[in-house]
A and B are shown apart, each in its own frame.
Chain A
Amino acid sequence: MSILEIENLTHIYSKKTPFEHIAIKDINLNIDKGEIVAIIGHTGSGKSTLIQHMNGLFKADRGTVYYNGSDIWENKKNIRNIRFKIGLCFQYPEYQLFEETVYKDIAFGPKNMGLSEDEIKKRVFTAAKYMEIPKEYLNMSPFDLSGGEKRRVAMAGILAVDPDILVLDEPTAGLDPKGRATLFSIITNYQKQTGKTVIFVSHSMEDVAKVAQRVVVIANGSIAMQGSVEEIFSKADELLEMGLSIPEITKVFIKLNENGHNFKLVYTVDDALNQLRSITEVRDNE
């Protein structure tokens, strides 16, 4: 069964004013338990708007969001508990840090849940470990850290709540290639160890190809297509039309095939290497 189900979701900004703007319309989306789903789409296509509906930060003008089969807005008072189940990490989460120490900031969520001191401590340490935050950082001021470290602290603040679904809005925006790689390996490790559901928004097709099991493409506020990485990136022309792209390495292989080679299309550099290696091995053996 789907852990999260979105039905006919429509969101209109500044309703009934001259600035009225339909950000998303008639979105239908199912997320299965334990999946890693990537959401891609051009700037302003409505990705951030969509994910803020997932944990009830926005209430839709039309449509329903179901978590484990029940409407998240069924009981208004319960919405805070829903937010603990569906952890949402905004773009540039480092701007939400406010506490004196890293420890206290990570503990903000668990504290809001009303957990005991011991449990809070356990959660902070676990979250810090997942996010690879060294122990000695916990007593430092979050404002003394580098941008990438701040980001990891802020994300640890979400993990400490221990949500069932982790939703990340452009988690790697503004990071260098190494920072991006680290962050994504952290996320995939976390997912593997806990088996939780992860939904992330990204503009980097390389990251999407490497990490996602399923890709949802949003264009102009509607879902344009969805499917596995292979299915989506095989429709390069359509993606280009929507202002999106395909991984660079895939472009290379398409060009090679156009020039008479006969490679299997690949989407990550690792797969490309494997394919090339296997070919050279065959040659060496001959």
Chain B
Amino acid sequence: MNDISFGQYYPSDSFLHSLDPRFKIIFTIALVVGMFVCNTVLSFAFAFLVILVLIFISKIPLLTYLKNLKPLIPIILLTVILNLIYVPGKNIILHFWIINITTEGLKTAAFVTLRIIGLVIITSFLTYTTTPTSITSAIESLLKWLKLFKVDIHIFAMMMTIALRFIPTLIDEINKIVNAQKARGADFDSGNIIRKVKAMVPVLIPLFISSFRRAYELANAMECRCYNGGEGRTKLKTMQITYKDFISLFFVIAIIAALILLNKLKILGV
């Protein structure tokens, strides 16, 4: 159970979860582009309506998405302030000292903020509804054509999969070692930076040792199961394209088309 709780995957049985990961990657890219296309009030309104509907379909609480936005608040604030100050314009609404706040600045700041929020939520749709391993195999499948240029995409996908697979194991391991050293009175929380870095040594050394041991054991285990690269390998979980993917494809195309159209319509000039 611990093994699937890594990354951001949020298990559920929604429509979005059941889509083919390859399609989901393409949809995500399309919607990200769509978000950049938006530059009128109407198109943004429509984009967020779509996002709200998707959140509903995903059967994941809204709060979980908002949690993702929290670390971005400083960046958003910074871009808002910079845009307010630096975007030139004619319509000055506020003036103090050497700073002019213009309607143009206000508009850009609002749009940039909305765009960041939209992008974060759209990419969360992919990471929340798809396990890291299926994302990796989807990428592998989508980049198959690179074989023509003698790029061995399988090796990279395998490395990615293994790395992802071991993230929770490593986190577990770090927790265990940290606790074991804490039990001997190690102090990770106090002191200046140098002391804190020094305090990590009793954690890092056992971690490296066990990682190398793991790598060695895994390599042996793979060899014992006759792993010899990507040639002729089949998958346990094959990806299946279903009618759901085509329905979604239709909707995504419709959404992008609507966004482009709505961009032409302006309310009160914005």
A177 to B10, CA, bound (A): 45
**Contact of A19 with B187 at beta-carbon distance under 8 Å, contacts A90-B180, A98-B201 already known:** no
Complex Cα gap A88–B185 (Å)? 11
Asked whether B180 lies within 8 Å of A93 as measured between CB atoms, the reply is: yes
Beta-carbon nearest neighbor of B10 in chain A: A18
A84 touches B185 (CB 8 A): yes
- Across the interface, do B179 and A112 meet the contact criterion of CB distance under 8 Å? no
Query: B184 contacts the other chain (Cβ, under 8 Å)?
Result: yes
Q: Decide yes or no: A90 and B201 within 8 Å by CB, A55-B183, A57-B183 being known contacts.
A: no
Expressed in whole angstroms, the minimum distance between the Cβ of B203 and any Cβ of chain A is 8
Q: Which residues in A have their C-beta under 8 angstroms from that of B177?
A: 95-96
Which residues from chain B contact A161 at a C-beta distance below 8 Å?
184-185
Residue interface bits B59-95, CB-to-A below 8 A is 1, else 0: 0000000000000000000000000000000000000
Interface string of A147-159 (1 = CB under 8 A from B): 0000000000110
When C-beta atoms are compared, the residue in chain A nearest to B186 turns out to be A112
Write out the residue numbers on chain B whose beta carbons fall within 8 Å of the beta carbon of A113. Answer: 185
The listed residue with most B CB atoms (<10 A of its CB), out of A83, A97, A98, A158, is A98
Decide if B98 is an interface residue (CB 8 Å cutoff).
Answer: no
Residues of B within 8 A of A14 (CB): 5
Contact indicator A90/B183 (Cβ below 8 Å): yes
The reply to whether the CB of B210 lies closer than 8 angstroms to some CB of chain A is yes
Residue of B nearest to A13 (CB): B2
Among B180, B184, B186: residue with most chain A CB under 10 A: B184
| Known pairs A95-B177, A96-B177; A80 contacts B185 (CB<8 A) | yes
B202 near A95: Cβ-Cβ < 8 Å: no
Q: Does B176 contact A (CB under 8 A)?
A: yes
Establish whether residues B183 and A158, one from each chain, have CB atoms under 8 Å apart when the complex forms.
yes
Once the chains are docked, how many angstroms separate the CA of A187 from the CA of B20?
57
CA distance A55 to B201 in the complex (A): 23
Is B181 an interface position by the 8 A CB rule? yes
Provide the bound-state CA to CA distance between A18 and B1, in Å. Answer: 11
Say if the beta carbon of B182 comes within 8 Å of chain A.
yes
Q: Is the CB of B184 within 8 A of A158?
A: yes
- Distance in Å from the Cβ of A161 to the closest Cβ of chain B? 6
Any A CB within 8 A of the CB of B209: yes
How many angstroms between the C-alpha atoms of A161 and B1 in the bound complex? 36
Q: Does B258 contact A (CB under 8 A)?
A: no
Q: Which residues of A contact B10 (CB under 8 A)?
A: 18
Most chain A C-beta atoms within 10 Å of own C-beta, residue among B11, B181, B183: B183
Give chain B residues whose Cβ lies under 8 Å from the Cβ of A157: 184
The chain A residue sitting closest to B178, CB to CB, is A57
Residue in A17, A52, A109, A143 whose beta carbon sits within 8 Å of that of B184 in the complex: A109
How many residues on A have C-beta within 8 angstroms of the other chain's C-beta atoms? 28
Which residues of chain A from 1 to 43 have any CB-CB distance to chain B below 8 Å in the complex?
14, 17-19, 21
| Complex-state Cα separation, A87 to B2, whole angstroms | 28
Mark B198-231 against chain A: 1 for CB-CB distance below 8 A, else 0.
Answer: 0001100110011000000000000000000000
The answer to whether A112 and B5 touch across the interface, beta carbons within 8 angstroms, is no
Chain A residue with Cβ nearest B199: A112
* B184→A108 contact, CB < 8 A: yes
Q: Choose one: B11, B185, B201, B210; the contact of A109 (CB below 8 Å).
A: B185
Q: What are the residues of chain A within 8 A of B2 when measuring CB–CB?
A: 19
Q: Which residues, 151 to 177 on B, are CB-close (under 8 Å) to A?
A: 176-177
- Can you list, as one digit per residue, whether each of B1-28 has a CB less than 8 Å from chain A (1) or not (0)? 1100100001110000000000000000
The answer to whether A52 touches B179 (Cβ under 8 A) is yes
Q: Which residues of B contact A84 (CB under 8 A)?
A: 185
- Tell me the complex Cα distance, A89–B181, Å: 10
Contact string, A94-116, partner B, CB cutoff 8 A, digits 1/0? 01111000000000110011000
- Please determine whether B184 and A57 come into contact, CB atoms closer than 8 angstroms: no
Q: Which residue on A lies nearest to B213, using beta carbons?
A: A95
Q: Give the CA-CA distance A14 to B182 in the complex, in Å.
A: 21
Q: How far apart sit A14 and B2, CA to CA, in the bound complex (Å)?
A: 10
The closest CB in chain B to the CB of A143 belongs to B209
Task: Determine whether the beta carbon of A95 is less than 8 Å from that of B206.
Answer: yes
Question: With A14-B5, A90-B176, A112-B187 in contact, is A83–B182 under 8 Å at CB?
Answer: yes
CA distance A161 to B183 in the complex (A): 10
Q: Which of A88, A95, A97 contacts B183 (CB 8 A)?
A: A88
**A89 to chain B: which residues have CB within 8 Å?**
183
Contacting pair A83 B183 (CB below 8 A): yes
CB distance from B4 to the nearest CB of A (A): 8
**Which 5 A-B residue pairings sit nearest by Cβ, starting from the closest?**
A112-B185, A98-B205, A109-B184, A96-B180, A88-B183
Q: A14-B5, A96-B177, A96-B184 are in contact. List 16 more A-B contacts (CB 8 A).
A: A19-B1, A19-B2, A19-B5, A55-B183, A80-B185, A83-B184, A90-B180, A90-B183, A95-B176, A95-B177, A96-B180, A97-B206, A98-B205, A108-B186, A143-B209, A161-B184
